[in-house]
Amino acid sequence: MTRRGLWIGLSLAAVTAVLLFVLARGFGRDPHEVPFQLRGKPAPDFTLRRLDTGAPVKLSDLKGKPIVLNFWASWCGPCKMEHPVVSMAAKRYGQEYQFFGVVFEDTEENARAFAGTPDPSFPQLMDERSRMAVDYGVTGVPETYFIDANGILRDKVAFPIDPRTMMEKLAALKQAPGPVSEVVR
């Protein structure tokens, strides 16, 4: 092989290797999956109004007990399947964790009809104009966020949560290490 042929071969091999590397990275992940950037960071603070009583709920007042935030909407089909799972978990584990539903892009009337009889173990919060949802990086509904007792966002489930996943995430939330940190404002 001539020297020129060797150079051409090496150049083509280098370009192919780079292309394969880029393609492997690109095809190795779901392009629709939005990364969860807030993992391990202080949960953004919020003050939202309860759907049943109208009383304000402020995140920074809730430290000391892990929190589960479930974003839903009455127009979301998968939320209808998921709602009983979160509701049952709230009834069963409400003493150890605080469960909140957050109404995403919906009217109060529709949300009330969807949520049914108010459940004190699973209060629903109205997120006016989805400001709080954007702060949390919500990309759609249903989504469930897990905040530890120190106010650190530990995990997120971006699909209709099932009982098994719920139990795993709750167990992990109790074990989650992390320093006491200021809540993001």
Partner 1 sequence: MTALVLGLVLASYAPQQAGSALLDPPREARVQALGKQLRCPMCQGLSIADSGSSAARAQMDKVRELVAAGKTDQQIREYFTSRYGEWALLEPPATGMNLLVWLLPLLLLVGGGVAIARTMRRPVPVAPASPPTPTDPEEKRPPSDDPYLEAVRAELRQ
Which residues are the active-site residues? 76, 79
Q: How far apart are CA 66 and CA 44, in angstroms?
A: 15
Query: Which residues sit opposite 145 in a β-bridge?
Result: 69, 156
Question: Closest CB to partner 1 among 49 and 92?
Answer: 49
Helical (H) or strand (E) element with 68: strand 67-72
Shortest Cβ 164–partner 1 spacing (Å): 27
Residue 24 beta carbon to partner 1: minimum distance, rounded to whole angstroms = 12
Residues that bind partner 1 in the complex, under the rule CB under 8 A: 11, 15, 18-19, 22, 25, 31-32, 34-35, 37-38, 73-77, 105-107, 110, 129-131, 133-140
Taking the C-alpha atoms of residue 126 and residue 105, their distance in angstroms, rounded to an integer, is 9
**Minimum distance of partner 1 from residue 137's CB (angstroms):** 3
Tokens standing for residue 86: 């979160």
E strand or H helix at 167, and its extent?
Answer: helix 163-175
Decide whether 9 or 163 has the Cβ nearer to partner 1: 9
